[in-house]
Structure formats: C-alpha cells, structure tokens
Structure 1
Amino acid sequence: MPVYYVNSYDITNMEEYARYGPPVAELLKKYGAEILAADLQAIGVEGSPRTMNAIIRFPSEAAALQCYSDPEYQPLKAIRWNSCSSGSMILVHGL
C-alpha cells in the first residue's frame, strides 16, 4: 500500500536550502519514491501555507521510513533543519 510524506515548512535561508533538493531527489529514487507535488507558492484555503509544501509517494511504509533513516539522508536532513524555521513532515497511509 502506498504511503505519502506530506511536508510543510518555512524556509529561512533559501541559499542553504537550495543544496537540499537535488540530492534528496536522487535519494528518493533509491526507495521508489515519486514527488507528486512541490510548491513554494501554495495557496492557503484554510490557515497559512508554509514556504515549502510537498507530497511524496512511496511504495510502502517500510520504504518511506528506510529513506528517512538512510545514512545518506542524515546530512541532508541537517541542511533542511538549518535552513528552515518550522514545519512538519508527516507520513500518511494511502487508500
């Protein structure tokens, strides 16, 4: 069953954050993941959208959690943490 990372966070250092996306996109391929949507200009229908909003589909919960724990992702995660002020990354199960 597919699962989805729903990411929403505020970017505070766009220059540093620019180092995050390309290597993460490559890592996602290793786990069969696909970026379904990513937007720096989301429209808030209720509440206020964050700077970055993305939805990423993984083939399974195991693949999503393995990707998050992958040693290659740890320094990339640090880039995201250091270039963003707040946000969330949640795992949602598909139907």
Structure 2
Amino acid sequence: MAAYWIAHVTVTDAQAYAAYQAQARGVFEAHGGRFLARGGRAVALEGAAFARHVIVEFPSIEDAQACYASDQYRAARALRRGAAEVQIAIVEDM
C-alpha cells in the first residue's frame, strides 16, 4: 500500500538547502520514492504557514521509513541542518 512523505519547509539558507536537495533526491529514488509535489504555490488555511511543501510517494510506509532511517538520508539531513525549519510526516494510503 502506497505511503506519502509530506514535508513542510521554510528555507533559511538557500545554498545549504540546495546541497541537501541535490543529495536527497537520489536517496528518495533509491527507495522507490516519486515526487508528487515540490515547492510551488501553496495556501495555508489553518496552522503554521510554511514556505514550501513536498510530497513524495513511496511503494509502502516501510519503504518511506527505510529511506528516512538510511545512512544516505542521514547524510543528506546533515546538509540541511540549520538551513531550514522542517516538519515531516509519513502517511499511509487508505
């Protein structure tokens, strides 16, 4: 059953965040991830407003969790540290 990695992001250091993006993309793809939304126009209706929203579809919640826990994504997250405020959730399809 598919699962969706949903990230809400406000970038505070564009150069460092770009380095994270360059590395993270390959990690998502290696775990079967496919971008459904990345940036683009968004409207906050309730709660905190973030500047950027990302949705990545994975074959399963286990694949998404394995991606997050992988050494490769841990290295990508290190590049993002201090470059953005981030909230991430993984949601399983119904």
> Which residue does the alignment assign to 2:10?
10
* Correspondence list, 1:10-89, <5 A: 10-84=10-84, 86-89=85-88
Structure 2: distance between partners of 1:2 and 1:89: 17
Q: Quick one: percent identity of the two aligned structures?
A: 24
- Aligned partners of 2:39 and 2:69: how far apart in 1? 24
| Distance in 2 (alpha carbons) for counterparts of 1:39 and 1:17 | 13
Q: Which amino acid aligns with 2:29?
A: K
Q: Distance in 2 between matches of 1:30 and 1:54?
A: 17
Structure 2 Cα separation of the partners of residues 78 and 7 of structure 1: 16
Distance across 2 between alignment mates of 1:21 and 1:87: 13
Inter-CA distance 52–41: structure 2 relative to 1 (3 Å threshold): same
CA–CA distance in structure 1, aligned partners of residues 70 and 14 of structure 2: 24
Structure 1, unaligned stretches of length 5 or more? Answer: none
Q: Counterpart of 1:90?
A: 89
* Separation in 2, partners of 1:79, 1:51: 19
- SS in structure 2 at match of 1:44: coil
For residues 32-89 of structure 1, the C-alpha deviation after alignment (integer angstroms, 9 at most, x for no partner) is 11010011542323445312210011001111111001111112112222201x3310
Amino acid at match of 2:91: V
Structure 2 alignment gaps of length 5 or more: none
